[in-house]
Structure 1
């Protein structure tokens, strides 16, 4: 959970961006959600575990009680779900909402990721946040602020949760502005993690056209998106081509596993061309899109892979090509971020979510460098490298790191061959050269 900072009152700056068409789309989306409300399942991530609940009349169960365990008598909890018909607007609104909540609500409140979905129904997932107001005082402050926000034309569905009576362990959910009240009860975990049915072309992009379409839709509100579009190849240049003349070897792995040293050594020994993904031409906008929600961030890195592929085609008629990260990184981080909880929540091995994009060049060999987490952190500290947000999350969250590593291993087209990077740089180089000789006949 995240602890709120001190209270600061504000108003959302989103209304001015909306058009009449978007408002109508949002209304349709909201009405569809309301019509399905009694069938929807809700989930809250609590201390690394996902708790599922729904509306019903059965006993609530201990799992639901865990959500309210620290809530005092007469205090409430709240949920905010972001509902809109526009995928990009919804993603940006939800992404910024967290910072607004952290800045505005009282310090006694706790914030947890939340979502709502229809089990087994594709694209039914709605993201939001669960607010645990531990005391009556923080409940009052939170409720006043949320009611101010609901006066704006924003895509928010707000619920409050409270005990049925003083001596009851039953909690009820009240949907604001729609006069719906229900008891909440435990729900069984779905067969698949709810995000699984929403990953395609939202978190992981499987075609050039799908990733480019995201940038085309936001070019009018993000000037940098228009600049990225100008760099992209035309559709005809992205179509799958015949195999390259020389081998294409990808080096994957977390930061500080020795990729930079190894790629340089391979370039020198093999007389190869060294490329990186995202490509250098994307560098001016990388920090900008790292601050955007996942759908934009993932589309940015996916497009970087396609530009790198064009660079590969230009070089492989002359030399072997070594690539520092490629599609495996893009997909592994996206899947591991979207799917919360333990490794068993990941899509099963062989899932279509691990397939290689049909229009993206396939490498001859992918080597995944692995390293003990403590040794990796020591190396990062020794070289004083500034971590990305996701790399920082790897250090703080062991479960997230395990999801990333397992997602790497499950991606096919080709699969990664793991190499222990704890040995000396020369030993690792020789081991990888043996793989290249066996797999690429170099």
Structure 2
């Protein structure tokens, strides 16, 4: 008796391994960094520069749940919600890679764990990398703290800062230290606009891929 199509697809996926893609040339890149370093501005520009697909960490269908959880101000449910959204985003990334498309994601498991450490989580869950896709490269955007604070002030004046943003900023050194513990690739954005940042990152990624052969 032959397998059903669903079982056949699952069997093929297991044989390929959780982090395999049909197109070995397709790449998965992540941008990380503290609030106001420019992640959300640079990410779509970088995706355009690389001719890659930009995949959001927060799937639109989960937005109402996010709003509801944020209102309750409960840290642990919020942490596990964001862990779930990362796993869900990982599956969308997998589909894109399987179709031969490069992918850019702004904020992945690293930001979820770093920010929630600052929010008071002392025993964060481990990422199950047997199921979540490992990025080919994760870039940690940095900028001088004075510049970042100026941007935060402008953001607060224009749209306000959420309860969670204020709480994280009160312990932002923990976010910074947690990011550093992941060993991500830093990129200093000082003196560069968003287009220049994206251009330089794209150049760096190309050089890195060339060096790897």
Verify same fold: TM over 0.5: yes
Cα deviation 1:130-165 (Å, max 9, x = unaligned): xxxxxxxxxxxxxxxxxxxxxxxxxxxxxxxxxxxx
1:258 and 2:38 are equivalent in the alignment: yes
Q: Distance in 2 between matches of 1:336 and 1:364?
A: 26
Q: Distance in 2 between matches of 1:374 and 1:385?
A: 20
Q: Is the 8 A contact 1:328 1:408 kept in 2?
A: yes
1:372 aligns with one of 137, 141, 144: 144
Cα deviation 1:43-102 (Å, max 9, x = unaligned): xxxxxxxxxxxxxxxxxxxxxxxxxxxxxxxxxxxxxxxxxxxxxxxxxxxxxxxxxxxx
Matches within 5 A, 1:49-198: none
Partner of 1:338, secondary structure, is: coil
2:166 aligns with one of 388, 392, 407: 392
Paired residues, what number? 190
Q: Is the 8 A contact 2:58 2:89 kept in 1?
A: yes
Q: Distance in 2 between matches of 1:385 and 1:374?
A: 20
Q: Distance in 1 between matches of 2:104 and 2:210?
A: 15
Q: Is the 8 A contact 1:354 1:410 kept in 2?
A: no
Distance 1:272 1:371, change over 3 A: same
Matches within 5 A, 1:162-241: 241=18
Task: Report the equivalent of 2:118.
Answer: 336
Could you tell me which runs of 5 or more consecutive residues in structure 1 were left unpaired when the two chains were aligned.
Answer: 1-235, 341-346, 348-352
Distance 1:330 1:322, change over 3 A: same
Q: Distance in 2 between matches of 1:372 and 1:354?
A: 31
1:271 aligns with one of 51, 63, 67: 51
Distance 1:281 1:296, change over 3 A: same
Task: Report the equivalent of 1:307.
Answer: 88
1:427 and 2:196 are equivalent in the alignment: yes
Distance 1:432 1:407, change over 3 A: same
Q: Distance in 2 between matches of 1:336 and 1:252?
A: 16
Q: CA RMSD in A?
A: 2.7
Q: Kindly indicate which of the two structures has a greater share of residues assigned to helix.
A: 2
Q: Distance in 2 between matches of 1:259 and 1:325?
A: 8
Q: Which TM-score applies when normalising by structure 1?
A: 0.39
Task: Report the equivalent of 1:408.
Answer: 179
Q: Distance in 1 between matches of 2:20 and 2:91?
A: 13
Q: Kindly indicate which of the two structures has a greater share of residues assigned to strand.
A: 1
Q: Is the 8 A contact 1:309 1:360 kept in 2?
A: yes
Q: Which moved more, 1:238-247 or 1:284-293?
A: 238-247
Q: Which TM-score applies when normalising by structure 2?
A: 0.77
The alpha carbon displacement at 1:306 in A equals 1.0
Q: Is the 8 A contact 2:114 2:175 kept in 1?
A: yes
Partner of 1:243, secondary structure, is: coil
Partner of 2:105, secondary structure, is: strand
Q: Distance in 2 between matches of 1:265 and 1:408?
A: 23
Q: Distance in 1 between matches of 2:144 and 2:125?
A: 25
Task: Report the equivalent of 1:32.
Answer: none
Report which structure shows greater RCO (CA 8 Å, sep ≥6).
2
